[in-house]
């Protein structure tokens, strides 16, 4: 099969980019795979891309590019939904390039990787191709306005894939998509190889965008307890974002000095996780939890807040890591201290984490996609009839519901 992914900007850094590159490489064992990057801002992608995978950029934002001065690139997009968070980065030029590429491509399968691109997919993808929307965010993080727009377009697709079963259940309950397969397939993370044959240093690591939802402030606050009880241990936070100065001010106010450090963005992150004894996440919200899986694949136990929606589907509390209540500073500090104090438990959890995380191997996730594509191809002829039947059931149910309300 010819499989095409639509992605916002494959030249950047982020969880969606990482998992798309991983999956594309795994699928390339059996298929012809292309990654279409709507935007491009540098010469080469930051992540290594399998040479069997073709990368096609549509709009070049580099100052030297003719696209940067194109009049259409100064005019707001009409097709890309205005309620989408990335809307300001899109234009009439991205609308046109997406339409031209999709209508001329010969892909058997087209997979979108964010809401606005899934609208492009619904509007422009070839009628004969399987059209699949991935949701790397969550249903409830979208505004009502965006969800209304997405529901109209998602009804024309073959499948909607979320990263967690919890989010798939929300979609099935709140967004009526007759004839559309809604299911969860987690993100993929490759095996980073064995950890270096040396004792791990007394380091707690954390990684992610430096934004308020990631609650690195809570982690820094909790670390003050760790620092008081275990003077040899330090905290390293990897990432970039608008919250950097606020977090540095908090480190300074707590008098942590070099014990807690903002390390900047590092990619790939596995080498740093191999050099940590524990990885922590204090997020208030996660659509999946890539850093948790990346840490576990390194054999590093994790301590994470049990926030919606991902961590509980990744971490088995007390087996390969710890889950603590969201926003509970004391519980987070206590869990970290417990793992630090009990090295045998920490090592045992790390080995359990490495074993459990094998289920996220790209080859395993690729097999799940292969199975889905086979299922969708076989069921495609019956899909219009199922949609029609679902529509009639809804219409027939309305009079009954009206009578019940009287």
C-alpha dist (Å) from residue 103 to 98, 125, 126: 8, 6, 6
pLDDT of residue 403: 45
pLDDT of residue 193: 85
Decide: 240 and 209 in contact? Cβ < 8 Å: yes
Whole-angstrom distance, CA of residue 404 vs CA of residue 406: 5
Tell me phi and psi for residue 227, to 5 degrees. Answer: -60, -35
Statement to judge: residues 37 and 93 lie in one domain: yes
**Packed helices 290-297 and 15-27: angle between N→C axes, nearest 10 degrees:** 60
Q: Which pair of tokens denotes residue 277? A: 């004894």
Decide: 279 and 311 in contact? Cβ < 8 Å: no
pLDDT of residue 199: 86
State which residues form the domain around 352.
203-359
Q: Which pair of tokens denotes residue 43? A: 């010469």
pLDDT of residue 388: 58
Asked if the structure places residue 154 within a domain, the reply is yes
Asked if the structure places residue 276 within a domain, the reply is yes
Statement to judge: residues 260 and 312 lie in one domain: yes
Total structural domains in the chain? 2
Tell me phi and psi for residue 204, to 5 degrees. Answer: -100, 125
* Residue 381 pLDDT level (bands cut at 50, 70, 90): low
Q: Is the pLDDT of residue 406 over 60?
A: no
- The three-class DSSP label of residue 266 is coil
Quote the distance between the C-alpha of residue 192 and its chain's center. 19
pLDDT of residue 245: 97
Statement to judge: residues 88 and 177 lie in one domain: yes
Statement to judge: residues 304 and 342 lie in one domain: yes
User: Which of 298, 279, 297, 278 has its CA nearest to residue 343?
Assistant: 278
Statement to judge: residues 174 and 35 lie in one domain: yes
Tell me the mean pLDDT in the region 119-124.
97
pLDDT of residue 196: 74
Asked if the structure places residue 378 within a domain, the reply is no
Whole-angstrom distance, CA of residue 265 vs CA of residue 248: 15
Q: Is the pLDDT of residue 397 over 60?
A: no
User: Which of 62, 58, 72, 70 has its CA nearest to residue 4?
Assistant: 58
Asked if the structure places residue 370 within a domain, the reply is no
User: Which of 380, 334, 339 has its CA nearest to residue 127?
Assistant: 380
* Residue 392 pLDDT level (bands cut at 50, 70, 90): low
Tell me the mean pLDDT in the region 311-334.
96
Helices (H), 183-236: 216-229
Tokens 């699949």, residue? 132
Asked if the structure places residue 299 within a domain, the reply is yes
For 325-354, how does the pLDDT look when each residue is reduced to its tens digit (9 = 90+)? Answer: 999 999 999 999 999 999 999 999 999 999
Q: Is the pLDDT of residue 394 over 60?
A: no
For 197-249, how does the pLDDT look when each residue is reduced to its tens digit (9 = 90+)? Answer: 678 999 999 999 999 999 999 999 999 999 999 999 999 999 999 999 999 99
Q: Is the pLDDT of residue 34 over 60?
A: yes
Neighbouring residues of 353: CB distance < 8 A, sequence distance ≥ 6: 295, 296, 299, 300, 301, 302, 320, 321
Asked if the structure places residue 282 within a domain, the reply is yes
Percentage helix, strand, coil for the chain under 3-state DSSP, each rounded to 5: 45, 20, 35
Tell me the mean pLDDT in the region 280-301.
93
For 56-76, how does the pLDDT look when each residue is reduced to its tens digit (9 = 90+)? Answer: 999 999 999 999 999 999 999
Asked if the structure places residue 311 within a domain, the reply is yes
* Residue 195 pLDDT level (bands cut at 50, 70, 90): confident
Statement to judge: residues 232 and 353 lie in one domain: yes
For 48-61, how does the pLDDT look when each residue is reduced to its tens digit (9 = 90+)? Answer: 999 999 999 999 99
Angle at 15 between CA 156 and CA 202, to 5 degrees: 155
Statement to judge: residues 239 and 175 lie in one domain: no
C-alpha dist (Å) from residue 393 to 16, 178, 184, 387, 390: 37, 10, 26, 10, 5
* Residue 134 pLDDT level (bands cut at 50, 70, 90): very high
Q: Is the pLDDT of residue 395 over 60?
A: no
Asked if the structure places residue 383 within a domain, the reply is no
For 177-188, how does the pLDDT look when each residue is reduced to its tens digit (9 = 90+)? Answer: 999 999 999 999
Statement to judge: residues 163 and 208 lie in one domain: no
Tell me the mean pLDDT in the region 260-289.
93
Statement to judge: residues 176 and 41 lie in one domain: yes
Statement to judge: residues 162 and 227 lie in one domain: no
Mean pLDDT of the chain: 92
State the CATH number of the domain containing residue 259. Answer: 3.40.50.2000
Statement to judge: residues 227 and 355 lie in one domain: yes
Instruction: Output the 3-class SS for 234-261.
Output: EEEEECCCCCHHHHHHHHHHCCCHHHEE
What percent of the chain has pLDDT above 90? Answer: 86
For 82-113, how does the pLDDT look when each residue is reduced to its tens digit (9 = 90+)? Answer: 999 999 999 999 999 999 999 999 999 999 99
pLDDT of residue 404: 47
pLDDT of residue 51: 97
Statement to judge: residues 163 and 230 lie in one domain: no
Whole-angstrom distance, CA of residue 115 vs CA of residue 16: 12
Final residue belonging to a domain, choices 149, 184, 219:
184
Decide: 326 and 311 in contact? Cβ < 8 Å: no
Residue-wise over 248-277: b if at least 16 C-beta within 10 A, else e?
Answer: eebbeeeebeebbebeeeeeebbebbbbbb
């Amino acid at each position: 099969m010819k499989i095409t992914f639509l992605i916002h900007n494959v030249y950047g850094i982020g969880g969606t980019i990482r998992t798309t590159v991983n999956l594309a490489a795994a699928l390339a064992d059996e298929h012809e795979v292309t990654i279409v990057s709507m935007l491009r801002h540098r010469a080469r992608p930051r992540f290594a891309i399998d040479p069997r995978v073709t990368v096609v950029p549509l709009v070049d934002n580099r100052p030297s590019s003719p696209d940067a001065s194109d009049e259409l690139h100064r005019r707001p997009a009409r097709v890309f939904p205005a309620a989408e968070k990335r809307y300001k980065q899109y234009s009439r030029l991205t609308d046109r390039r997406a339409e031209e590429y999709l209508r001329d491509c010969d892909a058997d399968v087209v997979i979108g990787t964010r809401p606005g691109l899934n609208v492009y997919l619904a509007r422009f993808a070839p009628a004969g191709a399987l059209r699949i929307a991935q949701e790397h965010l969550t249903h409830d993080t979208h505004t009502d306005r965006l969800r209304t727009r997405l529901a109209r377009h998602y009804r024309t697709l073959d499948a909607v894939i979320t990263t967690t079963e919890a989010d798939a259940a929300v979609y099935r309950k709140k967004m009526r998509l007759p004839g559309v397969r809604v299911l969860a397939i987690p993100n993929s993370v490759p095996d980073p190889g064995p950890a270096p044959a040396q004792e791990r240093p007394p380091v707690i690591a954390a990684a992610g965008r430096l934004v308020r939802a990631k609650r690195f402030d809570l982690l820094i606050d909790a670390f003050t307890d760790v620092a008081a009880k275990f003077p040899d241990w330090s905290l390293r936070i990897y990432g970039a974002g608008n919250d950097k100065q606020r977090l540095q001010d908090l480190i300074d106010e707590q008098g942590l000095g070099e014990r807690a450090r903002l390390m900047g963005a590092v990619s790939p992150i596995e080498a740093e996780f191999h050099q940590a004894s524990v990885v922590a996440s204090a997020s208030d919200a996660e659509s999946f939890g890539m850093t948790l899986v990346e840490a576990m694949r390194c054999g590093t136990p994790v301590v994470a807040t049990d926030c919606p929606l991902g961590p509980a589907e990744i971490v088995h509390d007390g087996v390969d890591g710890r889950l603590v209540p969201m926003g509970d500073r004391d519980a987070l500090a206590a869990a970290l201290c417990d793992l630090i104090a009990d090295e045998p438990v920490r090592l045992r959890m790390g080995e359990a984490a490495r074993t459990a995380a094998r289920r996220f191997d790209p080859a395993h996730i690729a097999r799940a996609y292969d199975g889905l594509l086979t299922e969708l191809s076989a069921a495609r002829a019956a899909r219009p009839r199922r949609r029609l039947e679902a529509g009639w059931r809804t219409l027939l149910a309305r009079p009954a519901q009206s009578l019940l309300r009287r």
